């Protein structure tokens, strides 16, 4: 499989595209005013503890308080500024009961927390007090004593070698996780990465002692730098960037940590926009569409709500097979591949329900779910999937880390407020009728000024026996219509008309 990283920078945003065999599979977007938060460390203050949901809400200085589950609470980081001078060796105290966590968590406590999921909609950031600092080759875990090796390293001998090195390097009071890109690296390279992380941790602790809460203690790398650190590995065929400044920065970074990857770095020089050259813009447009056609003639409808994502699979023009079961199976299999790619590209998290075309045979249902699992497993994000039920529905969950592509690339419609639909004009007319009755009954007024959007005004005046004429005859009133473009289609303003305004 050919994997590429394409980076486009502009004054308003940075975009990083991940391609697999020329197909866009992941897209990261970062704006200067809305930078990546995952990995950031804050000194926060507990403002509320809700035992019913086993969580605390922590003020970290943002608009919304962060959410800290009891399961993600590490008592060692409470009042961290006062504890760092202690001679006591920190320990994570794994297995502590939830009641124990509650007993040691109090409103007003200050603690260090790290963002694991960005704020989404009305929900604040998801937090953990089990801090970890990722480097190029190693992840440093303060207040731990374990050693781990990335599961993606399949070679048994290499896993054992890296584990031995990690155990020999592990400082007292810290845990270490060896990352995938550490394969074939010698002890000096890993030691250098570890020393850098330890210095970073010392700075974090020092700042946490002097800074008041709430406040940012440590800002993790931006999206572009983190992608280079976490994703630019030997299996990447090329990394192409259209910014000279960024190109120079990446080149300098690679010289220090991965000189073997330098030949894969390329500066894009063509006048054609880089995302157009790699057909990425078209793929982005497609990923933001509600309806996506498949090669077979079938199509999928993606409807995203705050609670879940619903995907509807339809056969459309896909009728090549005479047998309905085979035709449905062929469409469902193609849809399973498409949906898995789109969930990854759109960065959909939470609950996802897929309505496949009904299949009568259990073996065929299993085939569809198997293909869906296989495609989803290519993604680094964790997921859990249930078998297809008798209604042809497949339910799954996918870990949510940041807002989906739709939320990052769009804003709620001011007319429908994100609903996707606006009240019918007939419903607006009913509201106008009720308002006329209310004002007439209260004041006895018979002359009105009605301000509406031009589209509604045209609807009111349409036909020989127009709606507005019908209203005037029905209620024995006079209505003067004024068109106002500032109003929405579903808005109106009805006010009594003075005598001098009736001319």
- Of 43-47, 93-97, 436-440, least confident by mean pLDDT is 93-97
Torsion sign, CA atoms 43, 48, 51, 53: negative
Residue 35 pLDDT more than 50? yes
pLDDT at 170: 93
pLDDT at 101: 44
Return the structure tokens found at 52. Answer: 């019913």
pLDDT at 252: 87
Exposure of 495 in the CB half-sphere (CA atoms within 13 A): 9
Q: What is the mean pLDDT of residues 92-99?
A: 38
pLDDT at 89: 30
Selection from 259, 261, 254 nearest residue 235 by Cα = 261
Residue 78: pLDDT band (50, 70, 90) is low
Cis status, amide bond into 181, omega within 30 of 0: no
The CA-atom distances, in angstroms, between 161 and each of 153, 177, 178 are: 11, 13, 11
What proportion of the chain, given as a percentage, has pLDDT over 90? Answer: 41
Q: What is the mean pLDDT of residues 231-245?
A: 89
The whole-angstrom separation of Cα 469 and Cα 459 is 12
- Of 127-131, 187-191, 364-368, 404-408, least confident by mean pLDDT is 404-408
pLDDT at 228: 82
pLDDT at 123: 82
Q: What is the mean pLDDT of residues 406-430?
A: 74
Q: How far is CA 99 from the centre of its chain?
A: 32
What proportion of the chain, given as a percentage, has pLDDT over 70? Answer: 89
Residue 500: pLDDT band (50, 70, 90) is low
Contact 59, 233 (CB under 8 A): no
Residue 258 pLDDT more than 70? yes
pLDDT at 59: 94
Q: What is the mean pLDDT of residues 192-206?
A: 92
pLDDT at 227: 80
pLDDT at 428: 87
pLDDT at 72: 83
Predicted TM-score of the model (pTM): 0.69
The whole-angstrom separation of Cα 484 and Cα 405 is 35
Backbone angles phi, psi at 5, to 5 degrees: -120, 125
Contact 18, 252 (CB under 8 A): no
DSSP 120: B
Whole-number average pLDDT of the chain: 84
pLDDT at 102: 45
Give the residue with greater pLDDT, 242 vs 381: 242
Selection from 383, 374, 367, 370 nearest residue 325 by Cα = 367
Residue 306 pLDDT more than 80? no
Residue 418: pLDDT band (50, 70, 90) is low
Residue 118: pLDDT band (50, 70, 90) is confident
Residue 427: pLDDT band (50, 70, 90) is confident
Helix boundaries (H) for 118-222: 156-169, 187-210
pLDDT at 9: 87
* CA distance from start to end of the chain: 76
pLDDT at 392: 86
Helix boundaries (H) for 237-384: 244-257, 274-277, 280-287, 324-346, 362-376
pLDDT at 501: 53
pLDDT at 447: 93
């Amino acid at each position: 499989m050919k994997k590429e990283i394409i980076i486009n920078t502009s004054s308003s945003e940075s975009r990083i595209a991940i391609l697999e065999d020329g197909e866009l599979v992941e897209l990261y977007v970062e704006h200067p005013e809305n930078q990546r938060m995952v990995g950031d460390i804050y000194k926060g203050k507990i403002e509320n503890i809700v035992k019913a949901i086993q969580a605390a809400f922590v003020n970290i200085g943002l608009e919304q308080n962060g959410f800290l589950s009891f399961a993600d609470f590490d008592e060692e980081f409470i009042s961290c500024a006062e504890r760092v001078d202690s001679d006591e060796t920190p320990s994570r105290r794994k297995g502590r009961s939830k009641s124990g966590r509650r007993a040691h968590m109090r409103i007003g406590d200050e603690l260090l927390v790290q963002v694991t999921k960005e704020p989404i909609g009305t929900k604040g950031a998801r937090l953990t007090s089990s801090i970890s600092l990722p480097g190029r080759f190693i992840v440093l875990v303060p207040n731990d004593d374990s050693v781990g090796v990335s599961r993606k390293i399949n070679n048994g001998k290499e896993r054992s070698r890296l584990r031995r090195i990690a155990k020999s390097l592990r400082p007292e009071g810290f845990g270490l996780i060896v990352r995938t890109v550490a394969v074939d690296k010698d002890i000096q390279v890993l030691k250098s990465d570890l020393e850098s992380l330890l210095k970073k941790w010392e700075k974090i602790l020092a700042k946490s002692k002097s800074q008041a809460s709430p406040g940012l203690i440590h800002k993790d790398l931006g999206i572009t730098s983190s992608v280079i650190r976490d994703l630019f590995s030997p299996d990447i065929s090329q990394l192409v960037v259209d910014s000279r400044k960024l190109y120079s920065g990446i080149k300098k970074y690679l010289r220090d940590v991965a000189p073997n990857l330098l030949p894969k770095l390329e500066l894009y020089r063509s006048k054609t926009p880089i995302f157009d050259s790699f057909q990425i813009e078209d793929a982005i447009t497609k990923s933001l569409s509600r309806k996506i056609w498949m090669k077979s003639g079938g199509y999928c409808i993606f409807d995203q709500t705050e609670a879940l994502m619903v995907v509807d699979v339809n056969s459309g023009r896909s009728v090549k097979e005479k047998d309905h079961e085979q035709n449905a199976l062929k469409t469902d299999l193609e849809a399973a591949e498409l949906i898995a790619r789109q969930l990854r590209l759109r960065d959909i998290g939470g609950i996802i329900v897929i309505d496949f075309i009904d299949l009568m045979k259990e073996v065929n249902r299993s085939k569809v779910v198997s293909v869906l699992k296989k495609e989803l497993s290519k993604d680094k994000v964790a997921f859990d999937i249930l078998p297809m039920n008798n209604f042809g529905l497949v339910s799954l969950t996918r870990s949510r880390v940041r807002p989906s592509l739709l939320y990052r690339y769009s804003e709620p419609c001011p007319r429908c407020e994100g609903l996707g639909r606006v009240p019918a004009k007939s419903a607006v007319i009913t509201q106008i009728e009720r308002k006329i009755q209310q004002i007439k009954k209260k004041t006895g007024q018979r002359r009105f000024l009605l301000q509406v959007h031009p589209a509604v005004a045209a609807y009111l005046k349409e036909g020989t026996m127009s709606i507005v004429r019908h209203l005037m005859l029905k209620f024995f009133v006079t209505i003067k219509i004024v068109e106002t473009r500032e109003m929405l289609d579903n808005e109106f303003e009805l006010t009594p008309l003075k005598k001098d305004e009736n001319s």
